[in-house]
Structure 1
Amino acid sequence: MKIVDLELYHSSIPLHTPFKTALRTVTIAESVFVKITCDNGIIGWGEAPPTHVITGDSLASIHYAINKVIRPVLTGADLTSSASVFTRLEKAIVRNTSAKAAVDMALYDCLSQAANQPLYQYLGGYRSQLENDYTVSVNEIEQMHKDAKLYKEKGFRVLKVKVGKDAAEKDIERVSAVRQAVGDDVLIRLDANQGWTAKEAVKAIIRMEDLGLNIELVEQPVAAHDLKGLKYITDHTTTPIMADEAVFSAQDARRMLEMGAADLINIKLMKAGGIYQAIKIANLSQIFGVSCMVGSMIETKLGITAAAHFAASHPAVTRFDFDAPLMLSDDILEGGIHYEGNGNQITFLNQPGLGIKAVKEAYLEVIKRDRSW
């Protein structure tokens, strides 16, 4: 099964509600879609959104990395030697993790189709249903109270609350308002998106502990490079601390795990460079007895489907953050993962690969190989 072509498309879908974090506000979900065609007729799909403030990837850099560097390296490659192909993908270009992730997804889509298995089963088939959370964007307190109450009414039992945009004292008020809105039967996890200093984080988390706000975890409270600060927070609070932007690669994970800098790791395919590399992080975490969450950037159901299949396949992954497609004004895919109810449960179709039946052409623009951004 040899790769005969890689085609690129640009997609753009508005969000029905702005997504706000300490790092950015998103109103339109843009992505580069990758379509890999093999000589036996199998077609695989992947996706890479530009997330400048986290991965550094832009639409232009994703396009260039795939079209000018990765395409020549992989065209003609034989997927029956898949480890060799994934190694060539990783070595083709330094960083550019989102571009690599999109190609990696498409490769795994092809491989699992050839095996006539859904991807999560091809990867190990550990579970077949996931409980999804929903994100409460960082806003004024009244709006966050209203949003949290709405998401609970829709059936979500886990909320991911964004903080870190203003002073930590205001974040405590935000979280208190969310807890008041949802009561005690909803799990609340926080994501500061690098918005606090280490001492601010410790003070705020201890205060929330004293108030009995019952926070499940706090994600990436300090700057990505500040592993000492992350460890300081982990050592001085009882609430579990999760590393996100601090861990891109297996090497990052090993460093963090050996330091004991965090209690948990958030794996994202766009940071890791795809499923092949994400498996390494999950395996390391399992060895150290550390649980993982799998999350995403603002992606369509294509990228989320790949991430969900990976998450379902590995026992170290115990938390799932796949609400991005629920924020979009339309669904670009026919097939892929299935959201039950209002999206709080995710199940998988009994279809080979990612289970993609079609991609809606109305949202796709062909990216010509000589395009200049």
Structure 2
Amino acid sequence: MIKISKIDIREIQIPLAVPFRTALRTVNSVDDIVIIVHTDAGDTGYGEAPPTAVITGETKGSIVCAIRDFIAPAITGMEVGNIEEIMHVLHSCILYNSSAKAAVDMAVYDLYARSLHRPLYQVLGGARQSLETDITISVNPLDVMVQDSLTAIDRGFQILKVKVGKEGMKDVERISRIRQATGPRTAIRVDANQGWNPKEAVRIIARMEDLGVNPELIEQPVPAHDLQGMQYVTAHSCTPILADESVFSPWDAIRLLEMHGADMLNIKLMKSAGIYGALKICSIAQIYGVECMMGCMLESKLAVSAAAHLAAGQKVITKVDLDGPSLCCTDPYKGGPEYEGSQIRMNQTDGIGITCGSVSFKGLS
């Protein structure tokens, strides 16, 4: 019986190739908390949590406190093979703190799959061995966004996730110019990051439809709490509506789908408090007959790889937004899935496959 012996908490900073700009924030580097879960057999599992205060409400300090003072004492000594019991304790020992829980959750799942001597995606369903991700085009002056889109295509990306939501109807011009520059074969996903109100969103989407821009989907057009607004936009748009910030938990997913507030759900480990909660959302989506996207925050290869294993495991996840490693200047990790342009090929080694032995972590401040 392999038991959890201790949890170490570290910090990592990785510069981005270009600033990441959305309707909510501007970020210049991945600046995350990394955790290492040790067992009494000498095994290690790895997890990561980004402090995304504008979305999850969490900071570095709150993540460290939640793990150090609540989660680690609660699960230390528990058997790695008893995944259900660990997850029950993990999710009940502290309220909220979804990113902190996600970091520990993915590390435990890493250890669990390692104990079974299988890649994690096979343990989670084994639906496919490779994925195709989009890449994010940040909010910038129009000419910059067009050039960034063309550069992404040159790098092998055929799916663009374009950030908008700051200037209302001017966003139509952004998407239209990008469509003209990239041609009809490029898939364009429009992410408003809660930037519109319901009636404005319907007008903007209708205008894009009239111009033949043909966005693949519109992500989170209105504020997360405005579920009636999501319902209104979904009912009055031909383009599929993807819920992101409106869906954190399985209960959020049920409530939104019951009221027809979205056509699709964007699952992110940092919202669902990890793989365990994400699997529940996948099951709910299957019941309601809707597809899911697997997304990420500004995370390094470590957390993105955990999300990739879930996406490769579950058939209901049909779209992938896992471009975090492609946005970073460097990759400090070894092993795990291989990221080459838009293609993600799953590792066949045990667990998530990531090792951190040579990584230079920052000291916690």
The aligned runs of 1:48-127 (5 Å cut-off) are 48-127=49-128
CA deviation digits over 1:253-279, x for unaligned, max 9? 000111110000000000000000000
Q: How far apart, CA to CA, are the structure 2 residues paired with 1:359 and 1:153? A: 34
Which stretches of structure 1, 4 residues or more, deviate above 2 A after TM superposition?
357-362
Q: How far apart, CA to CA, are the structure 2 residues paired with 1:357 and 1:245? A: 31
CA deviation digits over 1:3-43, x for unaligned, max 9? 00100000111111000000000101111101001112211
Q: Is the 8 A contact 1:335 1:358 kept in 2?
A: no
Q: How far apart, CA to CA, are the structure 1 residues paired with 2:81 and 2:130? A: 29
The aligned runs of 1:203-214 (5 Å cut-off) are 203-214=203-214
In the TM superposition, residue 70 of structure 1 has moved relative to its aligned partner by 0.5
RMSD: 0.9
Counterpart in the other structure of 2:298: 298
Q: How far apart, CA to CA, are the structure 1 residues paired with 2:179 and 2:230? A: 25
Counterpart in the other structure of 2:166: 165
Q: Is the 8 A contact 1:31 1:49 kept in 2?
A: yes
Whichever residue aligns with residue 294 of structure 1, its letter is M
In the TM superposition, residue 360 of structure 1 has moved relative to its aligned partner by 3.6
Corresponding residue SS for 1:277: helix
Q: Is the 8 A contact 2:299 2:324 kept in 1?
A: yes
The aligned runs of 1:1-373 (5 Å cut-off) are 1-166=2-167, 168-340=168-340, 343-362=341-360, 364-367=361-364
Corresponding residue SS for 1:215: coil
Q: How far apart, CA to CA, are the structure 1 residues paired with 2:236 and 2:38? A: 52
Whichever residue aligns with residue 146 of structure 1, its letter is Q
Whichever residue aligns with residue 61 of structure 1, its letter is S
Corresponding residue SS for 1:66: helix
Corresponding residue SS for 1:245: coil
Corresponding residue SS for 1:78: coil
Q: How far apart, CA to CA, are the structure 2 residues paired with 1:284 and 1:99? A: 24
- TM-score normalised per structure 2: 0.98
Corresponding residue SS for 2:334: strand
Q: How far apart, CA to CA, are the structure 2 residues paired with 1:357 and 1:241? A: 37
Q: Is the 8 A contact 1:332 1:359 kept in 2?
A: no
In the TM superposition, residue 80 of structure 1 has moved relative to its aligned partner by 2.3
Q: How far apart, CA to CA, are the structure 2 residues paired with 1:23 and 1:325? A: 21
Query: Which is worse superposed, 83-92 or 148-157?
Result: 148-157
Q: How far apart, CA to CA, are the structure 1 residues paired with 2:359 and 2:150? A: 36
CA deviation digits over 1:89-119, x for unaligned, max 9? 0001111000000000000000000000000
Q: How many residues align?
A: 364
Q: How far apart, CA to CA, are the structure 1 residues paired with 2:275 and 2:78? A: 18
Q: How far apart, CA to CA, are the structure 2 residues paired with 1:348 and 1:122? A: 13
